[in-house]
Every structure is written in structure tokens, then in C-alpha cells.
Amino acid sequence: MQDAQKLMLSAKGHVSATAKALKILECFTPFQHELTLAQISRLLDMPKSTLLNQLRTLEELGYLMKVRDGSAYRLGYKIMELSYCAHTAIPMSQYAIPVMEDLQDATGEIIYLTSHINGRSFYMECVYPNSRSVPYSVSGKTLPMHCTGCGKAMLSQMNTQQVEAIIQQYGLASLTPNTITDHDLLMEDLAKCRARGYALDNEEETLGVKCIAMAIRTPRGEVAGALSISGSPISMVPEVLDPYAALLARACTSLTQYAHLFPAIQLQTP
């Protein structure tokens, strides 16, 4: 193992074996559902023999499972069970969903509720229109902040140091041809967001999806999260922006009283 990584796992008062296990779980992403022992070994730069013990433990307890007729691992059901507990522990959802449903009824579009964690957008809830064939659960999804409406809405209300730190940490990856990948252009766009009070996503994360988003702040002014209205370019025409912004403003204001329940506020990020 590399020394830098070794150092990260072995701080004082820490259980390095536990940290290793969690790092193993984090190797799995929405783009990488299955991993073999050798793949994890390369990803984490750990000896295979070390990993095997950890993998067996994780598998035994249901946090990993072997793919049928194969040697690859997948995240296990226990993760989802725990997540259900975590989800029910966020009482904010019960306040936010009615507000989101009102937005949905008024606009007919998709409504997202996000927070931010470690410099990334964190999706908490969504309310879809009645027309189906859309992904159901978004809870737990994360995305870079620079390329989504919610992300930019939150960034625009942070101080420059924080924004610069986030950009430096994650860069400005391009997800579509419209993604803002230039530092100065992004700062310009954020200034516009600040000026008009809301952010616009012009198919910057997914082609065919435009959105308008507004930040939710605590009474003290900290950025807790954001609400967004997303739809196709056909329905998200310029004329709807003003009325949608007004709807969002009302919704965000009403959620301010629950802002302290957002992960971004509850977590004391190191």
C-alpha cells in the first residue's frame, strides 16, 4: 500500500480495519456495480490476502454479496436496509414533500430536493408527474455541483473560498456539450444566479433536461439545500421562468424553518 493512503487510514483513535472495510464498499458506484477481488485490490492498492478477510466479513453480514455463478461482488441488501433507517430518520422529508407536491401540481414538471455534502449535490427527494417511466428513487444520488441547477443555486450562495475549494477538489467535468467547464464562465454564471435569485440548467447535466433551481437557506443565511423544477426544453420555455421562480421562492422560504435538518447543516464537514 502507498504511504499516503496508509496514513489516511491510520489516524489516532481510529480503527483502520473498519476504515478499510468502508473504503471497500465505496469502490462500488452507479457505474461499477460489480467488482472482483483483484479489481478491488488494484483500486485500493491492497494485498489480495488482506482484502479477502474483509470481503468475507462484509459478505457474511450481508453488506456484500457474490454475483450468482461468478466471483464478483455486489453491494448487499443490508445497505438498503440501513438506508431505509437513515431515510426515515430525516424528518425533513415529511415537511418538504407536501411543498414539493404543490410545486408539482402547479407546474407539471419534476421537482427535486437536494442538499450538498462534501462539495457535491446530494439528492434527497423527488416528486414526479403522473406520467411514468421515470427512475423512481433518487434518494442518495450525488452529482457534481457545477453542472446541475440545484448545484449552481447552492454554489451561488456560498462564499468564493468555498466555491474555489470545491472546483479545485473536483474540477469541472463535462457531462454534456452544454456543461460549463471553464472556471471564469462558471463564476460569471454564478454571479448571474446571485443577481436574479435562481439558477438555470440549460441541459448541462443531461441533454433534454432544463431546470430552474433556487437555494434553501437557514435563518442565519447558510446554504442548506435547493429545490428545482426540471422538464424538457419544450415545456421549460423562457416565459415560465418568472412564475416558476416565484413559486420556488415561496417554497424555499417556507422550508427555511426546517433548514437545520438538511445534511449540509447537520454535518460539521471537516
Which residues ranging from 9 to 38 are in contact with DNA (CB under 7 A)?
A: 10, 13-17, 20, 36-38
Q: What are the grid coordinates assigned to 164, written together?
A: 474555489
* Cα 112 to the center of its chain, rounded Å: 11
Does the protein bind a copy of itself through residue 86 (CB under 8 A)? yes
C-alpha distances out from residue 235 to 108, 204, 239, 257, Å:
10, 17, 10, 31
**What 3-state class would DSSP assign to 156?**
coil
**What 3-state class would DSSP assign to 220?**
coil
Candidates 6, 48, 56, 196; binder of a copy of itself (CB under 8 A) is 56
Please list the alpha-helical segments (H only) found in 109-159: 149-155
Pick from 144, 147, 142: which is nearest to 181 by CA?
147
Does the protein bind a copy of itself through residue 14 (CB under 8 A)? yes
Does the protein bind a copy of itself through residue 4 (CB under 8 A)? no
C-alpha distances out from residue 38 to 26, 48, 49, 56, Å:
16, 7, 10, 14
Provide the residue type at 56 as one letter.
Answer: R
Q: What are the grid coordinates assigned to 9, written together?
A: 487510514
Candidates 45, 60, 188, 242; binder of a copy of itself (CB under 8 A) is 60
> Which residues on neighbouring strands pair with residue 123, listed in sequence order?
114
- Determine the interface stretch with a copy of itself among 16-24, 180-188, 192-200, 244-252 (rule: CB under 8 A): 16-24
Q: Containing H/E element for 58? A: helix 48-60
Candidates 32, 71, 88, 235; binder of DNA (CB under 7 A) is 71
Does the protein bind a copy of itself through residue 197 (CB under 8 A)? no
Candidates 37, 43, 72, 97; binder of a copy of itself (CB under 8 A) is 97
Of residues 168 through 227, those in contact with DNA by CB under 7 A are: none
Does the protein bind a copy of itself through residue 201 (CB under 8 A)? no
**What 3-state class would DSSP assign to 69?**
coil
Choose between 161 and 269: whose C-beta lies nearer to DNA. 269
Candidates 2, 3, 136, 177; binder of a copy of itself (CB under 8 A) is 136
Does the protein bind DNA through residue 165 (CB under 7 A)? no
| Pairwise CA distance, residues 4 & 176, whole Å | 34
One symbol per residue from 105 to 134: x for binding a copy of itself (CB under 8 A), - otherwise; what is it? ------------xx---x--x----x-xx-
Where along the sequence are the contacts to DNA (CB under 7 A)? 1, 10, 13-17, 20, 36-39, 41, 46-50, 52-55, 71-72
